[in-house]
Amino acid sequence: MAAGEETSHILSGLTNQLPDRDPEETAEWVESLDALIREQGTERAQYIMRSLLQRAGAQSVGVPMVTTTDYVNTIPVDQEAEFPGNEEYERRYRAYMRWNAAVMVHRAQRPDIGVGGHISTYAGAATLYEVGFNHFFRGKDHAGGGDQVFFQGHASPGMYARAFMEGRLSEEDLDGFRQEKSREGHALSSYPHPRLMPHFWEFPTVSMGIGPMNAIYQAQNNRYLHNRGLKDTSDQQVWAFLGDGEMDEPESRGLLQLAANENLDNLNFVINCNLQRLDGPVRGNGKIMQELEAFFRGAGWNVIKVVWGREWDDLLTRDTDGSLVKIMNETVDGDYQTYKAESGGFVREHFFGKTPQTKDLVADLTDDQIWNLKRGGHDYRKVYAAYKAATEFKGKPTVILAHTVKGYGLGPHFEGRNATHQMKKLTLDDLKKFRDHLRIPVTDEQLEKDSYRPPYYHPGNDAPEIKYMMERRAALGGSVPERRDTHAEIELPEAKSYEVAKRGSGKQMAATTMAFVRLLKDLMRDKSFGKHIAPIIPDEARTFGMDAFFPTAKIYNPKGQNYLSVDRDLVLAYKESPAGQLIHPGINEAGAVAAFTAAGTSYATHGIPLVPVYVFYSMFGFQRTGDAFWAAGDQMTRGFIIGATAGRTTLTGEGLQHADGHSPLLASTNPAVLTYDPAYGYEIGHIVRSGLERMYGAESTDKNVMYYLTVYNEPILQPAEPENLDVEGVIKGIYLLAPAKIDGPRTQILASGVSVPWALEAQRVLADDWNVSADVWSVTSWNELRRDGLAAEEEAFLNPGQPTRVPFVTQQLEGATGPIVAVSDYMKAVPDQIRQFVPNEFATLGADGFGFSDTRAAARRYFKNDTHSIVVRALEMLARRGEVDVDAPVKAIEKYKLLNVNAGTTGNAGGEA
């Protein structure tokens, strides 16, 4: 089987399936096209070809979609934009950066440090970045507002090397690479981490796939701000630098349609196609550039391939019979990788030697000249032309597929090798060859003095190339990357906006989801603050009662609503608008978190605060998109995450995969997330107010947090806010809700969220049936109580002999006698978080295991976290203490039929399930 047959599935089938019944006539048509190109150029030929294709379609002539083109540059030589810069200067300081980037990683791998790093990614991508830095990436001081650039994580040494050349970093800083605590003050994070370097990096990208989807939603957020009249972002571009191996991540490709559907021509993907992933070829038997071209074009993107450098132009011009292009099309990536790991002679024999015609094409070239036939991603002119075409293209996002060599210029031990990604240091011989290749003025003596500490190189600020470099950045608006967290002042909501939360629901039953939605609606009506709220809802707004927002706030759609809505006559009609406030990503939690991240960091990216409120099925939050929330924490996102339809037994009609019994535990792993499980609307009101004050209040010192609130779909009578409410307790995690009403053997019931009404009912049953006195505490945050307790322990640990701070939960429960029963609608590990900080005997009730479909009452009886389970558990502990009859627990089990799932009575059947 010929190589071309194996890869034909990634080349568009135009003629290979049809017979040629008149080759002479075919040749005449082809000659006519060639003559048109010679006389009028490729641009005129493009128009004629498109006109013919359009006419063919109108005449029902079957013409397949051209999803892939030949393995050559998309932009013809005669349409390449002229390179405007000083290529010699740019090549010179690009060499300095490549040297310093490699040296920084090499020095970090010396025996006494050994923290590693990645050398090869930036070595191969330096041209892609430098063309951008010198001619396209606009800084924060640019009149248009500056661009957002998502740098490929493993290329971070190159960005540090440029910052060193610009004077932003010192040699001491470079030597602090990956030593963030031991070299504090002169430390550089391994990858783009805004939380670790808050004035340098803007976007965390090294968790593969998150960069692409966040870049897409950043571009959308730019348009959202513009269309809502909050900021003019019309002159801002979003750039995302990605790896071809990274494109195998579902997140990398799964959201491309949004960018196409919304015509995000402010978005540019640059995919560094070095044909390698971490362990070997991306598509050894195929062609990843062709695959990506087809995928992106099919998704509605503008595709620009930069395959070959200028050295190939003459060969391709002389390739009159297409023999060279045919070989380029049929050669698989595994072979292309091998060619760059061998020699010019090897390439002559194994690539050009495949046909007599191609062998003759290079007959006059030396082996060195063949070896120096560059790939397109290393050619300044080709890359510049692609970037210029991308930024000028209108109506679609653009992807640039740039063919490069991983480890380019690092020598035969690195270039194109399977192991190059993991190689972190160079031998002395490697260093000398690399120095010679880059023409760095460092002597053998300097390298031999200490091979683990080769010197950095900077020619001095007065060097003409450095002056030129600084002039280019000044013209483009300052250094990139840079993060600024100064923003326009935001006026927080007036007190009256929270009144709806304090009133309760009167005689009408309402779930906490509805209590939250009513509060959100009033906050959005606040004249000065409301416009800053960005509600984000996947395709479940009606489930959460948020369809009430459709007619007033409207759904954001840059194209508006160009159809006659089927429900136009209804009060809650579905309405879309370019100025819509609701972000509706569809059935797309990953996209929703990306939108949340873009909105929640708008205060830094654009200086315009947005407060995203992302409402979702709680089961599909931290479990499905935890990595994206981790990146959101890294990017210092601020906002509210609302886990609706929460709990393991409150949505029991939906069954196992909808039953959330563990999201607070998953949320607890994210240091930036404050997790609350409120029982009542008034608790929600105080938590939201506290959150807004912390994130945007003038007095706050720790603003970069996200609030996760779990809310439920089970309707209850929402009480009005009690007088003298312990607001501090609500915010910090626990307050006394209902003191015992009788005297008797004492117990404490700690409950959260939907289980608080069960605890109150258990209080009544214990008093009426067993003469037991129970205090009921509302625990609004098990997680925050634990964090406070651990912080108190840490303070004591580091200050021996000093007075110790008592954890808040311990303070609150001081004087609360008797055993404690802790209950929630989550697995037992959630309440167990505070066990070590409570001196009382402690028992936990929860819902461990998988969920299932049944009634709420049956599910709670099955899990033994219902009202009567609380009663029995309290009686058992009191019986062991001799404070109630020893037979009381057995009698209670029999009395309430605790082992019979059909005897459960806890909760009600209301609310959508």
Cα separation, 211 vs 150, whole angstroms:
7
Q: Which of 621, 628, 627, 625 is nearest to 660 (CA)?
A: 621
Cα 582 to Cα 95, 222, 534, 641: the distances in Å are 48, 15, 6, 15
- Between these two residues, 410 and 898, which has the higher pLDDT value? 898
Confidence at 652, pLDDT banded by 50, 70, 90: confident
Q: What is the pLDDT of residue 415?
A: 62
CB under 8 Å to 785, separation ≥6 — which residues?
A: 732, 733, 734, 779, 807, 808, 809, 833, 834, 837
Average pLDDT of the chain is 93
Query: 231: Cβ–Cβ under 8 A, 6 or more apart, which residues?
Result: 145, 225, 606, 608
pLDDT of residue 12: 56
Residue whose token pair is 């601020």: 638
pLDDT greater than 80 at residue 911: no
In one letter, which amino acid is 1?
Answer: M
Please give the average per-residue pLDDT across 691-716, as a whole number: 96
Asked if 235 and 145 touch (Cβ cutoff 8 Å), the reply is yes
Cis geometry, peptide bond prior to residue 481 (ω within 30 degrees of 0): yes
CA distance 760 to 738: 8
Of 64-78, 169-183, 242-256, 493-507, where does mean pLDDT reach its minimum?
64-78
Q: What pLDDT is attached to residue 568?
A: 85
Query: Model confidence over 334-391: pLDDT tens digits?
Result: 999 999 888 999 999 999 999 999 999 999 999 999 999 999 999 999 999 999 999 9
Say yes or no to pLDDT of 416 above 70: no
What's residue 7's pLDDT?
44
Mean pLDDT for the stretch of residues 801-818: 96
Q: Is residue 280 very low, low, confident or very high in pLDDT (cuts 50, 70, 90)?
A: confident
Sheet holding 611-617, edge to edge: 583-586, 533-538, 611-617, 639-644, 706-710, 673-676
- So what's the pLDDT on residue 424? 57
User: What pLDDT, on a 0 to 100 scale, did the predictor assign at position 15?
Assistant: 61
Contact predicate 382/391, CB 8 Å: no
pLDDT digits 0-9 by tens, 583-603: 999 999 999 999 999 999 999
pLDDT digits (tens, 9 = 90+) for 431-458: 898 899 999 999 999 999 998 999 999 9
pLDDT of 97-126, one tens digit each? Answer: 999 999 999 999 888 888 988 888 898 999
Average pLDDT over residues 211-235: 98
User: pLDDT at residue 419 above 70?
Assistant: no
The pLDDT value given to residue 3 = 36
Question: Which residue, among 750, 669, 689, 681, has the nearest Cα to 716 in the 3D structure?
Answer: 681
Residue 17, pLDDT score: 65
Res. 724: pLDDT tops 90: yes
Q: Express each pLDDT in 838-873 by its tens digit.
A: 999 999 999 999 999 999 999 999 999 999 999 999
Q: In whole angstroms, how far apart are CA 718 and each of 547, 739, 863?
A: 22, 19, 25
User: What average pLDDT does the segment 527-553 reach?
Assistant: 91
State the pLDDT at residue 14: 58
pLDDT at 423: 55
| Model pTM score | 0.93
The Cα–Cα gap between 583 and 63 comes to 39
Q: Give the whole-angstrom CA distance, residue 729 versus residue 498.
A: 18
